[in-house]
Structure 1
């Protein structure tokens, strides 16, 4: 669980949220209550958060972010068709 701090959306994140008609409430729910999370394989400072979104056919929303002491920077957001919860 990530401690609450301000969310900062990068320009890229804002663009994809708008283009994909994503609800920021889904993103906030994924950040504060992820179903699971994983470190990025290429960059250990990046975290991937996953959350099932019942309002969108139970699809899995992936949030790519960097957590700092001051903020959570949202880099990208998308529905991940290949996401599977680790066993």
Structure 2
């Protein structure tokens, strides 16, 4: 099965650069999250989480909207308050 195209919102592109997040961390979190939660305020939006060993095992949250042909990245950041369900 072919992987869906990743599309970055303008905010996500800016945030990833400003926060010095590696694209490999983003892709790993999107495709192999440790857990996923629905966004409580935006239907169809998911929060995908993964610990990043290269960054002290801090938890990366990548917020996405998955469509039939792409995964749109809305934002990404290290979430200090994230706890595994």
User: For the superposition of Structure 1 and Structure 2, which TM-score range results when normalised by the shorter chain?
Assistant: over 0.9
* Shift, 1:36, TM fit: 0.2
RMSD value over aligned CA atoms? 1.0
Aligned to 1:24: 23
Aligned to 2:32: 33
TM-score under structure 2 normalisation? 0.96
Structure 1 gaps, min length 5: none
TM-score by structure 1 length?
0.94
Moved over 6 A (4+): none
Task: List runs of 5+ in structure 2 lacking aligned partners.
Answer: none
1:12-49 Cα offsets, whole Å, 9 max, x none, are: 00000110110000000001100000100011210000
- Alpha-carbon shift at residue 65 of structure 1 (Å): 0.6
Partners of 1:42 and 1:81 in 2: CA distance: 20
